[in-house]
Structures are given as C-alpha cells and as structure tokens.
Amino acid sequence: MLVLLPLTTEFAQRGGDVEALLLRHKIPLAALTTPTMLVDASACYAAMEDMAETLGDVHFGAKAATEAANKGAPAIWNAAKNAVTLGDFLARIVVEIATQVDNVRYLFSASADAANFEVQRTLRVSGPTTQLDAIGVVFYVSLIKRGLGKTFDPKHIIVTAPTNAGFPPDFLPKRSFIKSDINGLRISFPPKWLSEPFSPGWDVVETTRGEFARDGSDDGATVAYFRSVLMENIGPEDLSLNRFAEICGTHPRQMQRILSAQGVTYSQMKDEARRHLAVELVANTSTPIAQIALRVGLSGSSALTRAFRQWTGKTPMRFRAEAARDHDK
C-alpha cells in the first residue's frame, strides 16, 4: 500500500471513484488506512493501470511519482533525512524497504564501470506494468536528480525496464532507455556519483554534507552501505581492501577506521557477505552448487559444502530441499 495510497489520493482529486476502483480489484477500503494490512500485490498493480485508463492519462503514475520525489515520500523519509552521500542514501533505502514490503527486493551494487540501483519484483504479473514501471523509474531518477543537484547529468543515466510507455515525453534521452523483460527495473549511473553529497531538500533535519559521517556518529549506517555493496561484488576473484574502498568511493584507511569502530574487520565482513549470498542462492534458486561456490569466491562444491556445514549444520543440497518444502507449504 506504500504506492497505492498516494495514487488513490491523486485519483480522487481528479474525480476518480476510489471505492469503486478498490471493489473492482477486491482491495478492502480499510487497507488505505491500515498500513499493516496485507494486500495482494497483483491487485495493486492492476489498480494502478485501472486508474490511468479511467482518467485517460498514461502518464498518471509518472506525475504522481514526480510530485512524491519533490515533496517527500514517508516510506523513505528516514533514509533521506540521515543520508550524507548518494551511496549512503541508496544503501539506507535497501534496508528500509526490506522491513516494509515483501513484494519487491531492492538491490544496490557498484563496480569501477557503473553503479546500479535495482528493484526486483518477487512475483510476475500477467497484465501490463506500464504504471508500475513509470512510477519506479520516474520517482527514483527524479529523486537522484533532485538530491545530486548540478552533479546530475541525464546523459549518464541508463534505465532498464519492460516498457517506457508511461514515461513523460523528454523525461530522459531516448538512448538512456533499454527495453528488457526483467521483472522490475534497473537504474545505472557513474559510480563517482555515489560519493557525491546528497540532499533532496525535503523538510527534514539538516545533515552534514560530505563523504560519509566523519565524526563516527553514523558509522553503523555506513557499514550497512559497505555490506550492501560487498554483497554485489563478492566473486571468484579476491576483492582486496584497497579495491573495495575504491568501489565505495572512500579511502582504505577511512574504511578500516569505520569498520574498527563497529568491531568488525574487512575479512569478517567478506566472510559474512559470502555466507549470506551462498545461503540465499542455495535456498531461493536452482543454480548448481558448483556454480554457487564460484559465485561466492570458493574453489568448488566441496569447499562450499564444508563451509555450509559450518554455517548451517547442513549440506547445501539438504538445505535447498528443506527450503523448497517450506516454500510449498
């Protein structure tokens, strides 16, 4: 309901019948005033398309998303209030959204070539997603633009999504859009933007602008950012501290200071990232065990099996079988 509530408000202001809309899609009216109420995600997505069709405005969702980016969205208020850099902000969003919804997964990764902010849907819908795609892309691109100010350059943004039919004309250069059948969207931009000061200018408490919190007051959130980036960069080649610091846009000594203040070493953080990624791939994909081992930087299936027994007390195959049974219940 995080997205549907502001949309229904805008829909009503433009003369739409909200009660009739919700009834058509079997969404309880009480869901608009009860944030904890579970609502079928497919029904919400269909309702978005219905609103745009009823109003005869394919850009309905994009307009609402632009307004939300300019005025502020409560769902990510804390992330915007406490963020210092763009990388810090995106890492906070990943954490905050994970605690609020289960129909999407937010991912944030960076390499020497590009930074990627990705929204993955956990279910695949049969109907159109024009409004859903437009809302996600327009909201986050507008927010990045607003937060970075003069640093933002639309020529350096690449958006990957199933369709751009709901995007406003001239929202981005045509070459900035890649059509793909991914179940979600991806926004890519130069990695150097991650260390740039970020402030959306919402009515929130002012924060120090600079490269991470230097007084140690927000090291916990910065380590969360490091962990998120590390999860996406763990691989066959050993990732040195110097290389990882470069990816994160900070100095190795500063990274070590922040980690030390939180009682963790870079080696420990790498092992934790390897464990979390391996467990997720074993439990939620059908990827062969040998491939997972290489993906997380281990020599092969035997090495992963040994590590997995230490982590979970089970072999990868047994863990996968039990996870499959749990999903089927």
pTM of the model: 0.61
Binned at pLDDT 50, 70 and 90, residue 47 comes out as very high
pLDDT at 217: 44
Binned at pLDDT 50, 70 and 90, residue 46 comes out as very high
pLDDT at 130: 94
pLDDT digits (tens, 9 = 90+) for 296-328: 888 788 999 999 999 989 999 999 988 888 766
Is residue 93's pLDDT more than 90?
no
Which tokens belong to 291?
Answer: 């491939």
Is residue 204's pLDDT more than 60?
no
Strand pairing category for 158-161 and 184-189: antiparallel
Is residue 253's pLDDT more than 70?
yes
208: region left, alpha or beta (phi > 0 left; psi from -120 to 50 alpha) = beta
Contact (Cβ atoms closer than 8 angstroms) between residue 91 and residue 228: yes
Task: From 120, 94, 91, select the one nearest 285 (Cα to Cα).
Answer: 120
pLDDT digits (tens, 9 = 90+) for 177-197: 999 989 999 999 999 999 999
Residue 287 or 91, more confident = 91
Q: In the predicted model, what is the mean pLDDT of residues 36-58?
A: 88
Residue 203 or 153, more confident = 153
pLDDT at 209: 29
pLDDT at 234: 77
pLDDT digits (tens, 9 = 90+) for 130-156: 999 999 999 999 999 999 999 999 999
For the sheet with 184-189, list strands across it: 104-110, 115-121, 184-189, 158-161, 177-179
List of residues 6+ apart from 111 with CB closer than 8 A: 191, 233, 247
Mean pLDDT, the chain, integer? 83
Task: Quote the percentage of the chain above a pLDDT of 90.
Answer: 35
Contact (Cβ atoms closer than 8 angstroms) between residue 158 and residue 176: yes
Cα 67–chain centre separation: 20
Binned at pLDDT 50, 70 and 90, residue 92 comes out as confident
pLDDT at 190: 95
Q: In the predicted model, what is the mean pLDDT of residues 63-90?
A: 83
Give the separation between CA 291 and CA 288, rounded to whole angstroms: 5
Give the separation between CA 127 and CA 183, rounded to whole angstroms: 12
pLDDT at 249: 74
Is residue 174's pLDDT more than 80?
yes
Under DSSP, the state recorded for 155 is G
Residue 99: Cβ-neighbour burial (10 angstroms; 0-12, 13-18, 19+): exposed
Is residue 74's pLDDT more than 70?
no
Give the separation between CA 288 and CA 281, rounded to whole angstroms: 9
Give the separation between CA 99 and CA 122, rounded to whole angstroms: 15
Task: From 235, 312, 223, 300, select the one nearest 268 (Cα to Cα).
Answer: 223
Binned at pLDDT 50, 70 and 90, residue 78 comes out as confident
pLDDT digits (tens, 9 = 90+) for 208-249: 323 444 444 445 667 777 887 787 777 766 788 888 888 777
Contact (Cβ atoms closer than 8 angstroms) between residue 98 and residue 107: no
Give the separation between CA 189 and CA 166, rounded to whole angstroms: 21
